[in-house]
Chain A
Amino acid sequence: MIDEKTLQEHLLATAAEQDDLLPRDLADDLAAGRRRLLRHRLATGAAALLTTGAVLAATLGVTGALHQAKPEEVAPAKPQQVQATTDLDTVITGLLTKHFDPGEQHLGYGLRPFKLVTRTGYRGTLREVHWGAKGDWRAGALKVGLFNSTKPDEQRCGSYYERFPKPLICKPVTLPNGRTAELGRQGGKAELRYVQPSGDIVYVAVDPSTFGDGSRMGITDAKLFAFATDPALVLPEVTSAQREAADLLTGHLPVASQIDAAALKILGGDLRPLDILRDYPGECSFRMDWLKAGVKSRIEFGVTPRPIAGTCSDLFRTPTCTKIADAELYERTTSAFGIRFTEYGATRRTPDGHRVWVLVTYTAAKRPPTGITQQQLLAVLARPELELR
């Protein structure tokens, strides 16, 4: 018969094989927990004044108001554009939870945020979220969009199910607020498209059968109407500077391989690209892990176009930057998480006025002796590959 002790040893060996895969920073877990807590409070109505004020402020584009409402800022600091994206995600996921899943038992938002995408004639966000039920964590799905488009049939009602054997027929309905929307309903399946008084469009498709039986999602017409007309559901405006910055990025971004090559030339070692953040208004950054001599560094490279470049202090949310030649440096250690974080960054203006920057983070009280030096950061920043083409 199988030996229990041997089984235990093999279970441990098998489980440990994946320890180094998909590394995750403690800061990310903490930030995710805080977002979840905020959604929870939105859903339960606790701290209503605080959160409602913060949400309205955030959706009106007053970035930073949400963070002031939080009792404590998330550290380490991130460049402002990234945080603004998180705000939009927080607002939408909070409202989805509030209207469709107040018990927080079903909706799974995964890792990808609702991000504000801008392109010619379009500003908005659209993505799917999972709906889990007992026995199947992806029993259903919601496709949710909030956008403004010059195309009148952008994400039209009925588009989700048009390839299905029985497409939904959308018809005009009058909402409790007296305005009209388009609604298609077939049992648990539904699609709603609502034009807000602002002209922005709310789109929701309810798919109860992505996998298995998710027919008990319970997303009624009334819940859809309440979500679509929630006054907190506001598409942030893109400022003229952001718009100009986004235009500057279009077609001129360095590609990931160029960033990797620039980093490798200076740093050597083993680079593991994690993700690329782009398409936000004026935002583009590349995150990667750098491994050398047993030390892992989290590095983020970014390019911020001239109209929204700001200062070093703006970028890193720090009161002090140290100027060295044509670059500026900053370094900070924080113990906000019980664990010490050390982060340091460097930035410089390119001859065209754009700002290139690099940010390094360690989960440690100080920079490891074999970690990336400030001189290396400055050398990376000087690489032409990082500049807009």
Chain B
Amino acid sequence: MAARDEEFSEYVAQRRTQLRRIAYLLCGDVHKAEDLVQTALMKLYVAWNRVQRSGNVDAYVRRILVNSGIDESRRPWRRENAGLDGLDPVATEGLAFEDRGALLAALNTLPSGQRRVVVLRFFVGLTIEETATDLHCSTGTVKSQSSRALARLNELLTPDFRAVGGPR
């Protein structure tokens, strides 16, 4: 137990901030993000010996985060706000970067699969193959979802986000 505690604590001390950031981008709510991280870390502690032997603790925790379904928790909110299932009316007007919620609001309009891909590919920095492994889907799915997500974000966000040198 002492070794487990020591190793687990070192991991949490080093990685907790990043895990909270991932969870926050996935769900857009700091309280839910914190709940999600705590749940993931509890599961990690229980499975610590096995997971550490596998050599990829980050992947284990990350998969709990992205596959937890917490990003679907916005569904009740959507049900309560009839008519918002499609475009967010604020988002259609173009979101300024100065608006701190601009990117989150734009992410919130993405289907959960696309949102996960955006977080894993462009925030965590995973390759297409690694993203596919985390999400238990094909690389083709990752590519198509990534393409659709970027196109959607491109529509919603202001030119501040765009490349100086034009399309990539």
| A interface residues with partner B (beta carbon < 8 Å) | 1-4, 6-8, 10-12, 14-19, 21-22, 24, 26, 29-30, 32-37, 40, 70-72, 104, 108, 110-111, 132, 134-138, 211-212, 336-339
Say yes or no: is B162 at the interface (Cβ < 8 Å to chain A): yes
Q: Which residues of B101-145 have CB atoms within 8 Å of chain A's CB atoms?
A: 103-104, 118-119, 122-123, 125
Are B168 and A30 interface neighbours, CB within 8 A?
no
Establish whether residues B161 and A10, one from each chain, have CB atoms under 8 Å apart when the complex forms.
yes
CB atoms of A4 and B44 under 8 A apart:
no
Which residues from chain A contact B8 at a C-beta distance below 8 Å?
30, 33
Q: List 11 A-B contacts (CB under 8 A).
A: A8-B123, A10-B161, A30-B12, A33-B45, A72-B2, A135-B75, A138-B73, A211-B76, A212-B75, A212-B76, A336-B5
Residues of A close to B163: CB separation below 8 A: 1-3, 6
Chain A residue nearest to B17 in the complex (CB): A19
Knowing A1-B150, A1-B167 are in contact, say whether A6-B123 is a contact too (CB < 8 A): no
Given contacts A7-B153, A36-B42, A212-B75, contact A338 B123 (CB under 8 A): no
Please tell me if the beta carbons of B12 and A26 are within 8 angstroms of each other in the complex: yes
Instruction: Name the residue of chain A whose CB is nearest to the CB of B165.
Output: A3
Residues of chain A with a CB closer than 8 A to B118's CB: 7, 11
The answer to whether B72 touches A337 (Cβ under 8 A) is: no
The listed residue with most A CB atoms (<10 A of its CB), out of B41, B104, B125, is B41
Given A15-B21, A17-B100, 10 other A-B residues pairs in contact with their CB atoms under 8 A: A6-B161, A7-B122, A24-B34, A24-B38, A32-B38, A33-B41, A108-B35, A138-B73, A138-B76, A339-B9
Chain B positions within 8 Å of A18 at CB level: 20-21, 24, 30, 33
List residues of chain A with CB within 8 A of the CB of B166: 1
Name which residue of chain A comes closest to B153, CB basis.
A2
Question: A22–B104 contact, CB under 8 A?
Answer: no
Residues of A within 8 A of B103 (CB): 10-11, 14
B69→A339 contact, CB < 8 A: no
A189 to B46: give the CA distance in the assembly, Å.
32
User: B1: which A residues are within 8 A, CB to CB?
Assistant: 70-72
> Residues on B close to A: CB < 8 A?
1-2, 5-10, 12-13, 16-17, 20-22, 24-25, 30-31, 33-35, 38-39, 41-46, 68-70, 72-73, 75-76, 97, 100, 103-104, 118-119, 122-123, 125, 150, 153-154, 157, 160-164, 166-168
Q: Taking chain A's interface residues, is the majority helix, strand, or loop, or is none over half, making it mixed?
A: mixed
List the A side residues contacting B35 at CB < 8 Å: 108, 110-111
Which residues of A lie under 8 Å from residue B24 when comparing CB positions?
15, 18
B69 to chain A, nearest CB (A): 5
Please determine whether B123 and A136 come into contact, CB atoms closer than 8 angstroms: no
A30 touches B153 (CB 8 A): no
Main secondary structure, interface of B, reads helix
Distance of A175 Cα from B74 Cα, bound (Å): 41
Q: How far is the CA of A7 from the CA of B153 in the complex (A)?
A: 9
Structural contact, A4 and B122, CB atoms closer than 8 A:
yes
- A24–B38 Cα gap in the complex (Å)? 10
Complex formed: what's the CA distance from A20 to B85 in Å? 32
Q: A19-B20, A30-B8 are in contact. Are A14 and B161 (CB under 8 A)?
A: no
**Cα distance A138–B157 in the bound complex, in angstroms:** 32
Q: A3-B168, A19-B20, A339-B9 are in contact. Are A137 and B46 (CB under 8 A)?
A: no
- Select from chain A the residue with minimum beta-carbon distance to B35: A110
Given known pairs A6-B163, A30-B5, A72-B1, the reply for A11 and B25 (CB within 8 Å) is yes
Q: Which residues of A contact B123 (CB under 8 A)?
A: 8, 11-12, 15
Residue of A whose beta carbon sits closest to that of B168: A1
- Is B38 a contact of A29 with CB atoms below 8 Å? yes
Say yes or no: A33 contacts B44, CB within 8 Å. Answer: yes
Q: Are A8 and B41 in contact (CB under 8 A)?
A: no
Q: Are B5 and A2 in contact (CB under 8 A)?
A: no
B45 touches A22 (CB 8 A): no
Contact B69 A136 (CB under 8 A): yes
* Chain A residues with CB below 8 A from B33, complex form: 18
| Chain A residues within 8 Å of B104, by CB | 14
CA distance A211 to B70 in the complex (A): 13
User: Out of A1, A10, A30, A36, which one reaches B9, CB within 8 Å?
Assistant: A30
Q: Which residue of B lies closest to A7 (CB)?
A: B122
CB proximity of A260 to chain B, nearest CB, Å: 23
Bound CA–CA A21/B21 (angstroms): 11
A1 lies within 8 A of B154 (CB): yes
Q: Is the CB of A22 within 8 A of B21?
A: no
Contact (Cβ within 8 A) A338 B6:
yes
Min distance, Cβ B113 to any Cβ of chain A, angstroms: 12
Contact A36–B43 (Cβ < 8 Å): yes
Separation in Å of the A337 CB from the closest CB of chain B? 4
**B36: nearest chain-A partner, CB-CB:** A137
Nearest CB in chain B: distance from A235 CB, A? 26
Q: Is A132 within 8 A of B69, CB to CB? A: yes
When C-beta atoms are compared, the residue in chain A nearest to B38 turns out to be A32
What residues of B have a CB within 8 angstroms of the CB of A104 in the complex? 43
Taking a contact as CB atoms under 8 Å apart, the answer to whether A29 and B12 are in contact is yes
**Residues B46 and A36 in contact, CB atoms below 8 Å apart:** yes
Q: For residue A117, give the distance in angstroms from its CB to the closest CB of chain B.
A: 24
